[in-house]
Amino acid sequence: HTHDLRHWRRLDGSFPVFISLDYCWEQANAPRWDDLTQVFVSEYQRRVANGHGPILGSPQFDAYDDAVPMNLGERPVLLVFSPKFRVGPIQYVYRWIKYRQVLSRCARWASREGYRLVVKTREKHRDPRYVKTIADRVFYDEALYPPTSWSLIKSSAVAVHFQSGALLECARAEVPSYSVRLPQPHLMRFRTSEEIYPGEPFTITHWPGVV
């Protein structure tokens, strides 16, 4: 509902200035307004979005150097990023059946190889209760800066995610990750979907040797 923000007013009757920060390819699909300044991570993202805003890098990546690894014990960590689920019959199957299967397999692997299974999620995901039962630890967004995700990635040996933008952070931290591909028919109408969601080699969610 970002378009509704144009109707916000300050107490003095003036309108605020809106700045939209890019992370991956959001700007290519974002609404455009005259009073909205789009800020891009790189020239490539700006070209994909056909944008005209300044290139200022990534605030998320700027926090990397300030993040401190967590003390999660002596065992290496397998970090799983909880997926976001849309409401609907297909996603219901993935939320209550498929995700549990993936998480259980990760737990068995971690137990066999001597790893600790840690899940990073968010309150808005409303994870099923079985997540806390299967994982050794579950973290939310306890810190805004540096983000909790950076501290967890720096504490991990390998990560699993569901086509998450966290793969960029894992790559920056030189932590290999596995991307689980989910059916995303509701996202295929976006301009950048073919670059992100099919999972073909040398696309963002399947880069040999990295993710």
Instruction: Specify the 3-state DSSP secondary structure of 158.
Output: strand
Q: Is 19 or 178 the better-scoring residue by pLDDT? A: 178
Between 28-37, 57-66, 85-94, 199-208, the lowest mean confidence (pLDDT) is in 85-94
Identify which of 173, 174, 157 has the alpha carbon closest to the alpha carbon of residue 209.
174
Yes or no: say if 193 and 187 are a contact pair by the CB < 8 Å rule: yes
Query: d(Cα 115, Cα 136) in Å, to the nearest integer?
Result: 10
Tokens for 200, please give them. Answer: 């073909």
Q: Is 59 exposed, middle or buried (0-12, 13-18, 19+ CB in 10 A)?
A: middle
User: What pLDDT, on a 0 to 100 scale, did the predictor assign at position 63?
Assistant: 85
Q: Is 173 or 60 the better-scoring residue by pLDDT? A: 173
Between 29-33, 78-82, 119-123, 170-174, the lowest mean confidence (pLDDT) is in 29-33
Q: Per-residue pLDDT tens for 11-53?
A: 676 666 788 887 777 777 777 777 788 888 889 888 888 888 8
Look up the pTM and report it: 0.82
Tokens for 177, please give them. Answer: 């990750």
Q: Per-residue pLDDT tens for 113-155?
A: 999 999 999 988 888 899 999 999 999 988 888 889 999 999 9
Q: 16 Cβ partners below 8 Å, 6+ apart?
A: 8, 10
Q: How confident is the model at residue 8 (pLDDT cuts 50, 70, 90)?
A: low
Yes or no: say if 86 and 186 are a contact pair by the CB < 8 Å rule: yes
Identify which of 184, 146, 167 has the alpha carbon closest to the alpha carbon of residue 70.
146
User: What pLDDT, on a 0 to 100 scale, did the predictor assign at position 79?
Assistant: 98
The average confidence (pLDDT) of the chain is 84
User: What pLDDT, on a 0 to 100 scale, did the predictor assign at position 10?
Assistant: 62
**DSSP E strand boundaries for 91-183:** 116-120, 137-139, 158-161, 177-179
